Structure formats: structure tokens, C-alpha cells
């Protein structure tokens, strides 16, 4: 397998933690809430999933526990910011630190332990395509993440609930005036975002790298938040951005395998450097941000 095939084979799997967390944050931000605690929510979900799978509970139960646990933690954020109208930035950072602290505490006795991953499933005939055929050999969570991407795109494009979420994000006072419960919708959006972050962390811990190590999320939550801006709050662009970052994260391994004499620390920093560069480019285009941005993002709602 050459370098291109290696990157294509692992791109979707590497992109899945970014994609799941970013899709959840997209729904949260579309509802007008800014949750910067995604990193901690992913870490908390990761440790819950790893503990359950390590003790024989199975991957399904591990993912369920991760989603529910991170959803509960995200609801703490929702109560503080939506119920008491606290600053969303400060509260999100605090919840993120809390999630990472709980992850380190619960995972201390599992350091360097491993669990069994999930086997990959190939689609019929498609893997036989030269070069790009390796894209069609993935585990079931990758396929489900693609389905989730399509479902969220369709929700915002064609359904009433998607329109309500967007309306609340754009003008919560107008949405409240015509009878929609802004707080209830935002609570649901935050819980959904927490669930998706937990699932993203679970995938990173028990499927993509089935090994527990403190700090294993390693900035994926921050990249997921950046992906929402990178994709200018559009589902399709977020998916493409996740694939880009997934491919970039594998380039270091491909470079090392090809014998390129570059320090591993430099190669590991490439995804974060790319994040900074891309965000800088997008931030310079204020027309694009204004066109697709969320008008009430981060602003508390008062009746």
C-alpha cells in the first residue's frame, strides 16, 4: 500500500471523531448556544466507553454510556448558561476542564490497557476499484457517522424542527413570540451536542485507538469546534473539513513510513497548524461568515 492508499484507507476513520463532535456542535450553535466544552465532553465519553468495554460490557453499551454520560455533563452547562444566564464561554471552558479532570480520575487505573476494536465491513464490489476502493472498507461506526451527516443536513434543509432550530438561533425573541420554547429547544440542542461529543470520544477510545492513555483526545474537541467555523455552519462543508483534517492527521504517519527524516513532534503538530491557517483564511472573509453565521450565537435569551 502506497502513501496515498494508506491515507485514503484511514481518512474516514480518522475523520469520524472530528465529524461526530462537529455535527453535535453544529446543532448547538445553530440554536444560538456556544459550547466550548467539547474537548472535555469527548474525554468523559471516552473514559466511560473504555471502562465498560474493558469490563466486558460490549461496544454498544460502551457507546450508549458515553453518549448519556456526556449528555448529562452537557446539561450541567445548559442549566448554568440557559437557566441562570451565565457567560457561555466561561462556563463551556469550565465544563471542558471538568470533563478532562473526570476522565483523568476515572481512567487512572486503566492507563496503557487495551480493548478489542470493531472489525471493518466492506461494501459489495466497491473495494475492487483501484486506489479509491480502500475508502469502502470501514467499521460500522464510520458508516453510521455518514448516515448522521446526511440526516442532519436533511433536518436543516427540509424539516420543521431544523427550521425552528435555525429560527431560534437567528432571532430567539421572534421565535418565542410565535410560540416556540427557546429554552427547551436550546436544552435539547445542548443535550444532543453532548451526546455526539460522547460518541466521538467513545469512537476514539475503543475503536480508532483501542488503548487508554490520559489526554488521548489530544485537541480533537477544539478542532471539532473549529470545524464548525471552517464549514461556515453548513453540514456538507463540515464533512469535507473533517475528511481534510483526518487526512492531514495521517500524513505524519505516512511520512514516517516513507522514511522522511522529520521529528515526530513536528508531524504531530501539522493538524493544529492547518487549523490555524484555515481559520485565519476563513475569518478574513467576513462576507461568508455574515452570510452563514448565527446571529444570536452566545447571547443569553431573556423573555
pLDDT at 259: 66
7-16, 57-66, 122-131, 218-227: the lowest-pLDDT one:
122-131
Strand-pairing partners, residue 122, are 137
Matching residue, cell 452547562: 77
Per CATH, domain 3-111+140-292 is 3.40.50: no
- What confidence tens digit (pLDDT) does each residue in 244-287 have? 888 888 887 777 666 666 776 777 777 778 778 877 777 676 77
pLDDT at 180: 94
Looking at every residue in the chain, the average pLDDT score rounds to 91
Angle at which helices 160-170 and 3-30 pack, to 10 degrees? 70
Average pLDDT over residues 3-7: 82
* For the chain, domain boundaries: 3-111+140-292
Per-residue DSSP letter, 211: B
pLDDT at 276: 81
pLDDT band at 90, cuts 50/70/90? very high
Reply yes or no on whether the pLDDT at 177 is more than 90: yes
pLDDT at 272: 79
pLDDT at 188: 98
pLDDT band at 218, cuts 50/70/90? confident
Cβ atoms 172, 32 nearer than 8 A? yes
Q: What percent of the chain shows pLDDT beyond 70? A: 95
Its sign, for the CA torsion 113, 67, 219, 8, is positive
C-alpha cell at 15: 475523520
Amino acid at each position: 500500500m502506497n502513501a496515498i492508499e494508506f491515507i485514503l484507507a484511514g481518512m474516514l476513520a480518522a475523520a469520524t471523531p472530528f465529524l461526530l463532535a462537529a455535527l453535535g456542535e453544529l446543532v448547538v450553535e445553530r440554536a444560538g448556544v456556544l459550547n466550548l466544552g467539547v474537548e472535555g465532553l469527548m474525554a468523559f465519553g471516552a473514559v466511560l466507553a473504555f471502562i465498560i468495554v474493558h469490563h466486558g460490557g460490549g461496544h454498544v453499551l460502551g457507546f450508549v454510556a458515553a453518549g448519556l454520560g456526556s449528555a448529562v455533563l452537557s446539561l450541567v452547562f445548559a442549566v448554568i448558561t440557559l437557566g441562570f444566564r451565565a457567560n457561555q464561554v466561561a462556563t463551556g471552558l469550565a465544563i471542558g476542564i471538568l470533563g478532562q479532570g473526570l476522565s483523568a480520575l476515572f481512567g487512572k487505573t486503566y492507563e496503557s490497557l487495551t480493548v478489542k476494536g470493531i472489525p471493518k465491513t466492506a461494501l459489495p464490489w466497491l473495494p475492487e476499484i483501484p486506489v479509491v476502493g480502500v475508502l469502502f472498507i470501514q467499521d460500522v461506526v464510520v458508516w453510521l457517522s455518514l448516515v448522521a451527516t446526511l440526516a442532519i443536513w436533511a433536518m436543516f434543509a427540509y424539516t420543521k424542527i431544523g427550521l425552528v432550530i435555525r429560527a431560534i438561533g437567528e432571532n430567539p425573541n421572534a421565535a418565542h413570540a410565535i410560540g416556540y420554547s427557546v429554552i427547551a429547544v436550546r436544552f435539547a440542542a445542548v443535550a444532543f451536542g453532548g451526546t455526539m461529543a460522547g460518541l466521538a470520544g467513545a469512537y476514539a477510545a475503543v475503536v480508532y485507538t483501542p488503548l487508554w492513555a490520559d489526554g488521548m483526545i489530544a485537541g480533537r474537541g477544539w478542532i471539532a469546534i473549529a470545524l464548525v467555523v471552517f464549514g461556515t455552519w453548513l453540514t456538507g462543508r463540515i464533512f469535507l473539513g473533517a475528511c481534510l483534517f483526518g487526512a492531514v492527521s495521517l500524513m505524519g504517519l505516512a511520512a514516517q513510513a516513507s522514511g522522511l527524516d522529520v521529528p515526530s513532534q513536528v508531524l504531530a503538530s501539522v493538524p493544529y497548524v492547518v487549523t490555524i491557517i484555515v481559520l485565519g483564511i476563513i475569518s478574513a472573509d467576513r462576507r461568508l461568515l455574515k452570510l452563514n453565521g448565527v446571529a444570536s450565537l452566545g447571547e443569553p435569551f431573556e423573555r
